[in-house]
Amino acid sequence: MNPRPRLLFLSRRLPYPPDGASMPSYLLLRLFGGAFDVTALCFERPGAAPAASHDARELAGLATIEVFAVPQRHSSLRYLWDHLRSAALRRVYKTYLYQSRAFERRLADVLSSTPIDIVSVDGLDLVRYLPACGDIPIVCVHHDIQSAALARRACSEKNEWRSAYLRHQAGLMEDAEREWCGRVALNIVQSEADRRLVERIAPCSRVIVMTSGDSGTDWQVRTNELLATFLTVANVDPSDSLSEIETVRTAHAS
């Protein structure tokens, strides 16, 4: 049997327990575990750092998982510094929110020591780490289109200064989306409306729709298609892995 392809999973939050915000990433991680050897580098869930080790162990059968602190959540000075840097350097705020030396060092270690076939990144919150992946194919899983989400927040914000700042961040986020949605190998979105947004922002981008609300036969068909797409992006013949994938999926379902 050929060794399984290796996937690096980068996430802005540990996808466990699987709730509304984490469900798409959790489902993907379960899917990947049947076909890839997965290394997952995840940031802590908001307010859940004490349980991070336990939660990571719950996913141990799917991937080798490491959890990292979000520095800003442990320092009010860092919170202010991140916003100041974003405003001064005109880079989207999330670039600095998830800046972590520990995460950066571990990512470099993994990329230098392990032949990674494909990278799955949890949205563009982690955009600062994408250049380190070099020529490895990247799949970006968008939970929403963040520039549009920020613009909606700006419209509903009653404070004029805060509304203006959110509009500014929406523009910076759209700049990042314009650059990276077209550069990654594949974008996965949650709806046709999101697909249209990505294609408007980055017309050359490759986009498919995958919703976590699918169920039953439709869900199995869609996940088979999605997994085949990931394997193809990783330059692996999907037919080589189908029987093993089905065996692992059945085991996880039982």
Alpha helices in 117-159 (DSSP H): 146-156
Does residue 254 belong to any structural domain of this protein? no
Helix (H, G, I), strand (E, B) or coil at 24: helix
pLDDT band at 242 (very low <50, low <70, confident <90, very high): low
The per-residue pLDDT for range 51-71, each reduced to its tens digit, is 455 566 667 777 888 999 998
Sheet of 6-11: strand order equals: 64-68, 37-43, 6-11, 118-122, 138-141, 186-189, 207-209
Residue 197 and residue 145 in contact, taking contact as beta carbons nearer than 8 Å:
yes
Instruction: For the full predicted model, state whether its pTM sits above 0.75.
Output: yes
Q: Residue 65 is part of which domain span?
A: 6-144+170-247
Does residue 22 belong to any structural domain of this protein? yes
The encoded tokens of residue 133 equal 């992946």
The mean pLDDT of 119-129, rounded to a whole number, is: 92
- What's residue 151's pLDDT? 95
Does residue 45 belong to any structural domain of this protein? yes
Beta bridge partner(s), residue 10: 41, 121
Look up residue 112 and give its amino acid.
S
Residue 77 CA, chain-centre distance (Å), reads 27
Does residue 223 belong to any structural domain of this protein? yes
Does residue 126 belong to any structural domain of this protein? yes
The per-residue pLDDT for range 160-203, each reduced to its tens digit, is 999 999 999 999 999 999 999 999 999 999 889 999 999 999 99
Which CATH number goes with the domain that contains 188?
3.40.50.2000
Does residue 152 belong to any structural domain of this protein? no
Domain count, the chain: 1
Does residue 157 belong to any structural domain of this protein? no
The encoded tokens of residue 201 equal 């922002």
Does residue 27 belong to any structural domain of this protein? yes
